[in-house]
Structure formats: structure tokens, C-alpha cells
Chains A and B, each alone.
Chain A
């Protein structure tokens, strides 16, 4: 697979999010290598989630992923499936927000 260039705008956005998490955690400064490591980890985790879920969907002979496939993918990757923890995390008060990237209007045909 062709690797995309290292400094895409998406990667910068992930760096932004990681920095926000560090700030939320209580840090004032993040070293550059740490930021890069966490960004790479975030990217790789998301990619692997997607790949693994896809594999479980196809194993069952479907094309549309279900919650069961997501659960299996999480377990397969060694993550603890904790819906309550995830809900608490999604509703936490200190949740940082960033605005969605601006999209260009579709060209007129």
C-alpha cells in the first residue's frame, strides 16, 4: 500500500487532538517525539480497528459491520470492552472540542 505523506492535514488534526488530551490531563508542555509517538499510535489504532472490524464482518459473510463485529475487533486487539467506561468518557465535562474542518463547496456542473 502506498503510504501517504507524513504531514497531511489529517495528521496535523490528530496532533491537535493529542495535544488537547495532554492539556486536559494536566500537562503544560509535550515533547515533540512524544507527540509524534502518540499521533502515530492514534492513527495506527484507528486503522487497525477498521481493518479488524472489516475482517470480522467478512468472516460472517456480511458487508455491513455490526456492533458484534466491533466488539470482536476490540477483544481481538486486547482491549477491554467497557461500554460504561466509554459512556462516562464520552460525557465527561472536560471534553475538548475542535471544529470540523471547512470543506470546499461542490463545483457547479
Chain B
């Protein structure tokens, strides 16, 4: 897009993004994000600062979920080969889909033993 071409010429930095977060409401309410940030000792008079952190955390989780969905879809396609018709396929986010995605991100996760 034209916006992207302008950015590639000038360079879009995190401080440029900060300016755009003035009237932005993230999915997670500011009050909730601020609570966890305050718990960690983070204090800022600028509400945009905590918004940028909450946005980064949201994107992190969102990306993981989207990657898990790709895994799940691929697995579903492989299973559907040979079957006549698959209708109203329900996609379920399971631990089996999530674990390989998290391993790729360097996060090792295991099911607790004896967990049903």
C-alpha cells in the first residue's frame, strides 16, 4: 500500500507507533493490563506505554493460536483424505496442536502426569 511505501522510505519505528496508540483501545482492557504491569513494578504516566506492552503480549498469544490453527487444519486435511465427505468440521484447540507450536518458540510444555 502507499502507507507501506512511505514507511519503507522513512522507516517506521516503535515511537511512531506510540503516537498512533493515543485513542486506541486494546482487546484486553487497560485496567487489567495495568494491574499486571504494576505488579511487576512498571509505572508510567503515559498510558500509551502500557498499551504498547499489552499489544505486544496480545500479538504473541494471537500468533501462537494462529499457528496452532494451521497445524490443526493440516492435520484435519490429512485425516480427511480418503473419506467421502467432511461437513461441519469442528476445529478443537488441543494440547497436541499447541505443544509443537510452543516448542518452535522455544517453550517446552508438558502435560502434568496423571492429568485426565
Contacts and interface: CB of A to CB of B under 8 A. Distances in A.
Interface in B73-116: 73, 90-95, 98, 106-107, 109, 111, 115
DSSP majority for the B interface? helix
B99 to A, nearest CB: 9
> A interface, how many residues as a size bin?
35 or more
DSSP majority for the A interface? helix
Interface string B26-56: 1111111101111111111110010011111
Contacts of A13: 28-29, 32
Given A10-B35, A53-B42, A67-B15, A33 B53 contact: no
Interface residues of B, number: 64
Given A22-B65, A49-B53, A79-B56, A27 B40 contact: no
A9 B45 CA distance: 25
Interface of B: 4, 7, 12-18, 20-21, 24-33, 35-46, 49, 52-62, 64-66, 68-69, 72-73, 90-95, 98, 106-107, 109, 111, 115
Interface of A: 10, 13-14, 17-18, 20-22, 24-31, 33-34, 37-38, 41-43, 45-51, 53-54, 63-65, 67, 70-71, 74, 78-79, 81, 83-87, 89-90, 95-101, 103
Given A29-B92, A31-B95, A90-B55, 5 more contacts: A28-B92, A49-B53, A50-B40, A51-B40, A79-B56
